[in-house]
Copies of this chain bind each other. A is one copy, B any other.
């Protein structure tokens, strides 16, 4: 699934037109994600985005009202995509759910690195708007929620669920970083090792 954030400008336009528009927007979005995640927000310029997308500079502003809004839309779309994996995880137990989420994210990173990059590796220069910061908070809460329920079930060690969520996310981010950078292709074994390790850190060792 691509990170085609927001709504297309004219949903009611005839199909062949919409196709083109969608193309334009798609290329714009892809180019923007690529650049934002590799050079940062301030390191990315609108001329660059337009050139890489093969569109005119002015066209950016037919789809997004500003560079800032462009970034924020992309960011939220990315988070939403990754949150899907959290909701889709089978509600068996904490360990299985986290494992399923981690694997789903890695699979997504292999299919299309863009949203993973947006969600995980956008250095938070203070550009995210209120809605985006909310979305980010909810995202971390979703992970913390899984861990909290694991704690309630005695699976997770003592300590703040938020803390263990960040620990777990930190290690998963490491895997995703190697994945999107191409260092760890689909067949590599290290990801499972690190995912296991991530669980080891936060599980209740006193128990099983």
Contacts and interface: CB of A to CB of B under 8 A. Distances in A.
Interface of A: 38-43, 121, 123, 125-127, 159-160, 163, 166-167, 170-171, 173-174, 190, 193-194, 197-198, 200-202, 205
Contact of A197 (B38, B160, B167, B174): B167
Contacts of A166: 174
Q: Is the interface of A mostly helix, strand, loop or mixed?
A: helix
A125 to B, nearest CB: 5
A204 to B, nearest CB: 12
Contacts of A190: 159-160, 163
Nearest to A194: B167
Given A40-B42, A40-B125, A170-B174, 13 more contacts: A39-B42, A39-B125, A39-B126, A40-B123, A42-B42, A43-B126, A123-B125, A166-B174, A170-B173, A171-B171, A197-B201, A198-B201, A200-B201
Most buried by B among A38, A39, A40, A121: A40
A169 to B, nearest CB: 9
Contacts of A40: 40-43, 123, 125
Contacts of A39: 42, 125-126
